[in-house]
């Protein structure tokens, strides 16, 4: 049994006043779960916004506050790095579009309050990639040494180049030319996203509102890794609440239809309503009539619902782990054609087996 359900965890985030009377033992567990799911600083900010932080026990306040300081520092770092990248790439006439965490922070959306950002993601045109990579590499951005196999994975199949890191500041940078792996046959036409970009104060480019939300949906529902899925769904909840208008929903619907991610949009809306109590949008009935089926009901309500629960030993049970395993298989299935997938999994599981037997660092170069 998990000590909290998805809905209970969500309720602390949307109605943080509900945590005021929580016994300290449960506070300790909630803090561990939210820290692990990268939501502790977000929790601090929602409790400040709803004016209940001061009512929390001192034990909880100190952990939430400490997390918020770390997140504020990350926010400042992201703003600094984005501006530096914009200036650096402007020299080669490239204006990158900032995605995900950096996008939220730059556009200062509600979900950026306390948002933990593990790397900075930018999108550039595919024919600019080579120039961008060499400009970055001559400005203290480097990539880790990858195995020949991983190098080939990125260069031939992926929608991004191997991650770069800044030699002095250790910031990690992902340079994308698409939102999803071209090898899958499902990568969207990037122009549909890049034609509606917004310029934020300072001059950085970010995706438009509907484009931001659809990218978050693609990232969440096409991914094989659900580690941060609960946080990612909370992001989308806050974004759609903030940008909600009939025009926003219409743009989102049209974009999802043009890029063939309508089904993922449907999955997302069902989960948002089930878990975060998001209000049903006007576009929902049409999507439901098109995508509701026995299979999709089962997939959303059992597999996705259980798999999205934060990954923590206090919540883990066989349902979550089975669901995450199925999502892992499905994520890979979507990513690559079967003949490439089989060899990919064979290579990865061989390495995985060695690490399982002899410890995580067994394959590291001495």
Partner 1 sequence: MVVNTGLYAFNVTCAHRQITPTVNSIYGDATPPNTPADFEIKVASPSFTRRFFRPQVSFYCDQHSPFKPLPLAQAYALLEWGMNWCIATHDHTRLLVHAAVLVKNNQAIIFPAAPGSGKSTLTAYLAMSGWNLYSDEMAIIDLESGFVSPLYRPVCLKNNSIDLVKQWFPESVFTSTWKDTHKGDVAHLKASSWKQYIQCKPTEIVAVIFPKFVANSDLKIYSLDQLQAFETLSKNAFNYGVLGNLGFKMVDKIIKRAALFEIEFGELCDVQAFLSEDIIR
Interface residues with partner 1 (CB under 8 A)? 24-25, 27-28, 32, 35-36, 57, 59, 62-63, 65-67, 69-70, 72-73, 76, 311-313, 355-361
3-class secondary structure per residue, the chain = CCCCCHHHHHHHHHCHHHHCCCCHHHHHHHHHHHHHCCCHHHHHHHHHHCCCHHHCCHHHHHHHHHHHHHHHHHHHHHHHHHHHHHHHHHCCCCCCEEEHHHHHHHHCCHHHCCCCCCCEEEECCHHHHHHHHHHHHCCCEEECCCCHHHHHHHHHHCCECCCEEECCCCCEEEEECCCCCHHHCCCCCCHHHHCCCEECCCCCEECCHHHHHHHHHHHHHCCCCCCCHHHHHHHHHHHHHHHCCHHHHHHHHHHHHHCCCHHHHHHHHHHHHHHHCCCCCCCHHHHHHHHCCHHHHHHHHHHHHHHCCCCCCCCCCHHHHHHHHHHHHHHHHHHCCHHHHHHHHHHHHHHHHHHHHHCCCCCCCC
Q: Which is nearer to partner 1, 30 or 336 (CB)?
A: 30
Q: Which is nearer to partner 1, 286 or 351 (CB)?
A: 351
Min dist. Cβ of residue 360 to partner 1 (A): 6
| Tokens (6 digits) for 74 | 């990350």
Q: Which is nearer to partner 1, 57 or 182 (CB)?
A: 57
Q: Which is nearer to partner 1, 71 or 175 (CB)?
A: 71
Q: Which is nearer to partner 1, 39 or 272 (CB)?
A: 39
Min dist. Cβ of residue 68 to partner 1 (A): 8
Min dist. Cβ of residue 308 to partner 1 (A): 17
Min dist. Cβ of residue 27 to partner 1 (A): 7
Q: Which is nearer to partner 1, 80 or 298 (CB)?
A: 80
Q: Which is nearer to partner 1, 36 or 253 (CB)?
A: 36
Min dist. Cβ of residue 167 to partner 1 (A): 16
Min dist. Cβ of residue 32 to partner 1 (A): 6
Min dist. Cβ of residue 73 to partner 1 (A): 5
């Amino acid at each position: 049994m998990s000590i909290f359900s998805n809905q209970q965890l969500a309720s602390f985030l949307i109605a943080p006043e509900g945590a005021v009377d929580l016994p300290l033992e449960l506070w300790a567990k909630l803090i561990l779960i939210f820290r692990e799911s990268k939501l502790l600083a977000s929790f601090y900010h929602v409790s400040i916004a709803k004016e209940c932080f001061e009512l929390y026990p001192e034990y909880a306040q100190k952990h939430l506050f400490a997390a918020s300081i770390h997140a504020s520092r990350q926010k400042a770092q992201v703003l600094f790095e984005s501006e530096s990248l914009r200036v650096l790439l402007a020299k080669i006439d490239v204006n990158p579009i900032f995605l995900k965490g950096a996008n939220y922070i730059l556009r200062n959306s509600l979900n950026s309050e306390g948002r933990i950002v593990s790397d900075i993601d930018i999108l550039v045109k595919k024919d600019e990639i080579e120039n961008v990579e060499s400009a970055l590499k001559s400005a203290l951005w480097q990539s880790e040494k990858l195995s020949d196999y991983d190098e080939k994975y990125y260069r031939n199949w992926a929608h991004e180049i191997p991650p770069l890191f800044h030699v002095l500041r250790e910031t990690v940078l992902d340079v994308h030319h698409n939102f999803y792996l071209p090898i899958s046959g499902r990568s969207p036409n990037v122009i549909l996203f890049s034609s509606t970009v917004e310029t934020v104060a300072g001059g950085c480019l970010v995706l438009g509102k509907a484009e931001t939300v659809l990218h978050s949906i693609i990232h969440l529902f096409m991914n094989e890794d659900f580690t941060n899925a609960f946080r990612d769904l909370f992001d989308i909840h806050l974004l759609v609440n903030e940008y909600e208008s009939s025009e926003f929903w219409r743009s989102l619907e049209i974009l999802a239809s043009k890029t063939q991610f309508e089904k993922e949009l449907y999955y997302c809306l069902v989960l948002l309503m089930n878990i975060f109590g998001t209000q049903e949008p006007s576009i929902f009935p049409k999507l439901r009539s098109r995508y509701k089926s026995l299979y999709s009901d089962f997939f959303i309500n059992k597999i996705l619902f259980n798999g999205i629960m934060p990954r923590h030993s206090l919540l883990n049970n066989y349902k979550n782990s089975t669901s995450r395993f199925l999502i892992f298989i499905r994520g890979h299935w979507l990513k690559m054609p079967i003949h490439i997938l089989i060899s990919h999994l064979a290579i990865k599981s061989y390495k995985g087996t060695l690490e399982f037997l002899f410890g995580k660092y067994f394959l590291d170069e001495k």
